[in-house]
Amino acid sequence: MTTRPIPSPDEHDDAMLAVRVGSAIAERRRARGLTQAKLAEMIGLEQEAISRWERGTRAPTLYRLQQLSDVLDCSVDQLLQRGSRRADDQLSVVAASLAELREDERVLVVNFVQQVADMLRARRPEKVRQRKG
């Protein structure tokens, strides 16, 4: 009977980051109207490499991240920040999304986010709200 080694916290974090980056690649690729095959062709790889990245089974190298950011018209940061739990990273993702909208659309999104945040805060138990306030 063989046993698999227990992954270290770093290996687990690396795997989770690979999934988040893969999701960001897929999202950007679709937004640009590209197939996996076309994206692969643009950066000199096989379609299967793109598929592995998007599924999170492999992570692109730093060189490939730079190539992807050029082709997908985004920064490397935007590919890495997708799905981050850090508030700063989340704000950067939202800001990038808002930048692509008209002013009236941005106002609508901001108002919506504020309403949802107010609703979520109101649903918290009283003790939690008092600590935060």
Architecture of the domain whose range is 1-85:
Orthogonal Bundle (1.10)
pTM score, two decimals?
A: 0.62
Dmax of the chain from CA atoms? 63
Distances (CA, A) of 82 to 68, 90, 113, 127, 129: 14, 7, 18, 32, 28
Taking phi over 0 as left and psi of -120 to 50 as alpha, with beta for the rest, 33 belongs to left
Q: Give the tens place of pLDDT for each residue, 39-70.
A: 999 999 999 999 999 999 999 999 999 999 99
Domain ranges of the chain: 1-85
- Nearest-CA neighbor of 93 among 108, 79, 109? 79
Q: What is the pLDDT along the chain (133 residues), one digit of tens a residue?
A: 566 667 667 777 888 889 989 999 999 999 899 999 999 999 999 999 999 999 999 999 999 999 999 999 988 988 887 666 778 877 877 887 888 889 999 999 999 999 999 999 999 887 655 555 5
